[in-house]
Amino acid sequence: MKHNDCSNIESKDGCLASALSVLGNKWSALILRDLTTGPKRFSVLERSLTGISPRTLSQRLDDLERLGIITKKSFAETPPRVEYTITSKGNDFIPALQQLAVWGEKYYSL
């Protein structure tokens, strides 16, 4: 099978697939969007992401942390407090998210 030349989009095969493995679900991009304004607690993210279950939010946060896209900081307080922050690796996604939002605004309305 002949390989299609997609060098106008990705410099080598797998780049786009790698990015989509991070953002390829409904919630990850929205979590990153919310974290661009600063650290957030779980409950704040849960309220912002209408329709997400606590279990799904927890899974997405764990996935993003494992990938180095966000960090999780626990504070030794009573009650315990945890904050999530976007990393520099996560910040590198922001221009792509902004372009997706521009496309969404142009072609899609709720």
Which CATH number fits the domain that encloses residue 71? 1.10.10.10
Strand partners, 40: 84
CA dihedral of 71, 85, 27, 93, whole degrees rounded to 10: -90
pLDDT digits (tens, 9 = 90+) for 80-109: 899 999 999 999 999 988 998 898 888 886
CA dihedral of 82, 86, 88, 92, whole degrees rounded to 10: 160
pTM for this structure?
0.83
Question: Which pLDDT does position 95 carry in this prediction?
Answer: 92
Q: Which domain holds residue 95?
A: 26-107
**8 within domain boundaries:** no
**What whole-number distance in Å separates Cα of residue 105 and Cα of residue 43?**
28
Question: Which pLDDT does position 7 carry in this prediction?
Answer: 67
**15 within domain boundaries:** no
**93 within domain boundaries:** yes
